[in-house]
């Protein structure tokens, strides 16, 4: 019976994952930080704040801001820590929470995260500083691969590159999505041994980012 528990546990977690993700209008699309929509699994948000607190980046780069709930979360965390700033990138920032535009710890960049000008601005902002990166924009594999190439080298040793929503494409949700973040990651990681998948960050049993927590040596 002892050997059966891990398998049973994984099965239960997978079914909960599918249920939670499938009821998106009730669950992750209905999750807020200080009134701003976050659209993340709270378990992942908790783990990521642990990472930020432990690694203390000077700059956190986040691609994919949407309405800005997660960006406001990072800004609030940096305020609590008393250290850090956010470079937040989105192709359209018109719907972003207005509090971000005036927050002293936030720099908003409007444009594609893979646009050379945007990449250059993010790099300039982070030059010579301790950096972590969160990738949460266009989830098509080709775009995520371009983001990995552009922002992976920016991550400082000991810090994290988090590839979000590796669960889509049947891992285990949205099987019809096609090639997504996990596919991009599987093709990219073998050429980048400086990064290792930190499965300990999936400790809360369900994660929208399976195999997506990468720590740089």
pLDDT per residue over 65-107, tens digit each? 999 999 999 999 999 999 999 999 999 999 999 999 899 999 9
Exposure string of 89-100, with b = 16+ CB inside 10 Å and e = fewer, is: bbeebeebbebb
Q: Nearest-5° angle of CA 90, CA 208, CA 2?
A: 165
C-alpha–C-alpha distance, residues 141 and 166, integer Å: 10
pLDDT per residue over 161-191, tens digit each? 999 999 999 999 999 999 999 999 999 999 9
The correct CATH number of 4-216 out of 1.10.3720.10, 3.20.20.140, 3.40.50.150, 3.30.830.10 is: 3.40.50.150
Q: Where are the domains of the chain?
A: 4-216
pLDDT at residue 3 is higher than 60: no
C-alpha–C-alpha distance, residues 196 and 212, integer Å: 10
pLDDT at residue 7 is higher than 60: yes
Closest CA to 109 of 69, 70, 62: 62
C-alpha–C-alpha distance, residues 131 and 154, integer Å: 7
Backbone angles phi, psi at 136, to 5 degrees: -150, 45
Q: What's residue 9's pLDDT?
A: 84
Over residues 101-129, mean pLDDT: 97
C-alpha–C-alpha distance, residues 13 and 174, integer Å: 16
C-alpha–C-alpha distance, residues 27 and 146, integer Å: 30
pLDDT per residue over 125-155, tens digit each? 999 999 999 999 999 999 999 999 999 999 9
Closest CA to 215 of 145, 200, 71, 205: 200
pLDDT at residue 1 is higher than 60: no
What is the model's pTM?
0.96
């Amino acid at each position: 019976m002892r050997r059966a528990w891990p398998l049973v546990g994984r099965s239960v977690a997978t079914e909960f994952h599918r249920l939670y993700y499938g009821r998106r209008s009730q669950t992750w699309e209905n999750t807020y930080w200080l009134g701003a929509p976050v659209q993340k699994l709270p378990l992942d948000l908790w783990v990521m704040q642990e990472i930020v607190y432990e690694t203390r980046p000077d700059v956190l780069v986040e691609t994919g801001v949407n309405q800005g709930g997660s960006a406001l979360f990072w800004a609030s965390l940096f305020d609590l820590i008393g250290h850090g700033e956010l470079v937040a990138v989105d192709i359209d920032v018109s719907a972003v929470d207005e509090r971000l535009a005036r927050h002293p710890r936030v720099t908003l960049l409007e444009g594609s995260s893979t646009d050379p000008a945007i990449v250059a601005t993010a790099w300039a902002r982070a030059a010579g500083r301790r950096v972590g990166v969160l990738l949460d924009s266009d989830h098509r594999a080709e775009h995520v691969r371009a983001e990995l190439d552009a922002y992976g080298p920016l991550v400082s040793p000991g810090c994290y590159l988090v590839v979000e929503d590796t669960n889509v494409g049947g891992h285990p949700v949205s099987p019809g999505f096609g090639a997504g973040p996990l596919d991009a990651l599987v093709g990219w990681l073998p050429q980048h041994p400086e990064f290792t998948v930190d499965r300990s960050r999936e400790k809360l049993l369900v994660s929208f980012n399976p195999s997506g927590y990468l720590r740089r040596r």
